[in-house]
Amino acid sequence: MRMRATLADYKVGDKVILKKVLDNHLTIQLYSMGCILGEEITIERKAPFGDPIIIRVEDSFISLRKDDAQKMEVLLS
């Protein structure tokens, strides 16, 4: 069975739409920073080995780890 694509699968510059977050705690954190379902996420930067990552949601820049990104199911926008 093919896993659905997560934020970690995309590269710098890609714009994706957040579809589902697989961790409740992470959901609360992302939501309170304005990163909610249906929101467009731009991948801004990745540190060496893809960890951590900076994403942009509207005019907010948010950093997260690769493990967090792997829990965020997204679709290319």
Partner 1 sequence: MGEKTFRIEDELRLILVGNPNSGKSTLFNSLTGLNQRIGNFPGVTVEKKIGFLKINDHIKAEVVDLPGTYSLSPRSEDEQVTFDYLNDNSRNDLPELIVVVVDASNLKRNLLLATQLVDSEQPTILVLNMMDIVERNKQSIDVKKLEEKLGIPVVPINARLSKGIKELKQAIANYKYKKVPKFIENHESKDALENTVHRFNKIKDIVKLTLTKEGESRTAKITRRIDSVFTHPVFGFAIFLLILFLIFQAIFSWSSYPMNWIENGFLVLGNWLSKTLPEGVLNDLLVDGVLAGLGGIIIFVPQIAMLFMFIAILEDTGYLSRVSFLTDALLKRFGLNGRSIIPLLGGAACAVPAIMSARTIANKKERLLTIFVTPLISCSARIPVYTLLIALVIPADKQFLSFNLQGVVMMALYLLGFVAALLTAFVMKYIVKSDERSNFVMELPIYRTPRWTNVGMTILNKTKVFLFEAGKIIIAVSIVLWVLSSYGPGDEMSQIEEKYKTVLADSNADLTAANEQIASEKLEVSYAGHIGKFIEPAIRPLGFDWKIGIAIITSFAAREVFVGTMATLYSVGDEENTASIKEKMNRATHASTGAKVYTKATGYSLLIFYAFALQCMATVAIVVKETGGWKWPIIQLVYMGALAYFSSLLVYQIFV
The whole-angstrom separation of Cα 23 and Cα 28 is 9
**Is 29 a binder of partner 1 (CB under 8 A)?**
yes
SS3 14: coil
**Is 61 a binder of partner 1 (CB under 8 A)?**
yes
Q: How far is the CB of 2 from partner 1 (least distance, A)?
A: 25
Q: Which of 5, 9, 17, 65 binds partner 1 (CB under 8 A)?
A: 65
Buried/exposed 25-50: b ≥16 CB within 10 Å, e otherwise: ebbeebeeeebeeeeebbbeebeeee
Number of chain residues interacting with partner 1 (CB under 8 A): 33
- Nearer to partner 1 by Cβ, of 24 and 76: the residue is 24
With CA atoms as reference, report the closest residue to 74 among 46, 40, 45: 40
Instruction: Return residues touching partner 1 (CB under 8 A).
Output: 23-34, 36-37, 44-45, 47-49, 51-52, 54, 56, 58-65, 67-68
